[in-house]
C-alpha cells in the first residue's frame, strides 16, 4: 500500500544556512542538518515520499517581488543554491529513487506556481511533514497553502529555523493554534 505521507525539506540550501550564505539563518539553520537527514532516512525507509522544494531566482529580477525585499539568493547554478551540508550528500545518494525528488519553486510557498498539489494527490498523500527554512517565511507559506488544500500537517520543531527568532516562535504557535498542525 502506497504511503500517504510526504516529507517536504524546504529550502535547505547554502544561501539560507551556510555562514557565507546570502540570506543565512546561520547556526540555528546549521543545527537542523542531522535531524533533517535522520528524518529523511526514516521516512524513505518507511516508503514515504521525500520532496525537496528549493527556491530558485534570477539575480535582480525586476518582476519578482523578493528582489525589492532581499539580496540576490538561491541563484540557479550557484554554490548558494546547492543543498547544505550532509543533505547534499544524502540527496546525491537517493535522487534516482522514485520516492525522492527535488523541484524548483520561485515563491515562498512550495505550492505556488508548481505542480506539487497535483503530484501529491496522484500519490494519495494526505499528510505533510514540514522541515527546513525559514520557519516564518517559506515553511509558513507552504503550511498555509497545505492547510487550505486540506492536508494534515506535522511540523518538526527540531528541524525548522529562521534568521528571525521572534518570527520563528510566532510561526510555531501559528502552525499549532491556527492551522491545527501537530508539532513534534
Phi, psi of 62 (to 5 degrees): -70, -15
d(CA 47, CA 82): 25
Check residue 60 and give its pLDDT. 82
Check residue 1 and give its pLDDT. 58
d(CA 156, CA 177): 15
Check residue 65 and give its pLDDT. 87
CATH number at residue 85: 3.40.50.850
58 and 76 in contact (C-beta within 8 Å)? Answer: yes
Q: Kindly state the cell numbers that stand for 113.
A: 506556481
Check residue 173 and give its pLDDT. 98
How far, in whole angstroms, is CA 179 from its chain's centroid?
17
Structural domain count of the chain: 1
Check residue 2 and give its pLDDT. 64
Range of the domain at 118: 5-183
What global pTM score does this model have? Answer: 0.96
Q: What is the 3-state secondary structure (H, E, C) of the chain?
A: CCCCEEEEEECCEHHHHCCCCCCCCCHHHHCCHHHHHHHHHHHHHCCCEEEEEEECECCCCCCCHHHHCCCCCCECCCHHHCECHHHHHHHHHHCCCCCEEEEEECCCCCCCCCCHHHHHHHCCCCEEEEEEECHHHHHHHHHHHHHHCCCEEEEEEEEEECCCHHHHHHHHHHHHHCCCCEEC
Q: Kindly state the cell numbers that stand for 166.
A: 521572534
Q: How does pLDDT run along the chain (184 residues), one tens digit per residue?
A: 567 999 999 999 999 999 999 999 999 999 999 999 999 999 999 999 999 999 999 988 888 888 888 888 999 999 999 999 999 999 999 999 999 999 999 999 999 999 999 999 999 999 999 999 999 999 999 999 999 999 999 999 999 999 999 999 999 999 999 999 999 9
Amino acid at each position: 500500500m502506497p504511503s500517504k505521507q510526504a516529507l517536504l525539506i524546504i529550502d535547505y540550501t547554502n544561501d539560507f544556512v551556510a555562514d557565507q550564505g546570502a540570506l543565512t539563518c546561520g547556526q540555528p539553520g546549521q543545527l537542523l542538518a542531522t535531524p533533517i537527514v535522520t528524518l529523511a532516512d526514516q521516512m524513505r525507509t518507511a516508503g514515504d515520499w521525500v520532496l525537496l522544494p528549493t527556491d530558485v531566482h534570477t539575480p535582480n529580477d525586476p518582476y519578482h517581488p523578493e528582489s525589492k525585499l532581499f539580496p540576490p539568493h538561491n541563484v540557479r547554478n550557484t554554490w548558494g543554491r546547492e543543498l547544505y551540508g550532509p543533505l547534499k550528500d544524502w540527496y546525491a545518494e537517493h535522487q534516482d529513487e522514485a520516492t525522492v525528488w527535488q523541484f524548483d519553486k520561485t515563491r515562498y510557498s512550495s505550492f505556488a506556481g508548481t505542480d506539487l498539489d497535483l503530484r501529491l494527490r496522484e500519490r494519495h498523500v494526505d499528510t505533510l511533514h514540514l522541515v527546513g527554512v525559514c520557519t516564518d517565511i517559506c515553511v509558513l507559506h507552504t503550511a498555509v497553502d497545505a492547510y487550505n488544500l486540506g492536508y494534515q500537517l506535522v511540523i518538526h520543531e527540531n528541524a525548522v529555523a529562521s534568521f528571525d527568532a521572534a518570527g520563528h516562535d510566532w510561526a510555531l504557535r501559528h502552525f499549532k493554534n491556527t492551522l491545527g498542525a501537530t508539532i513534534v
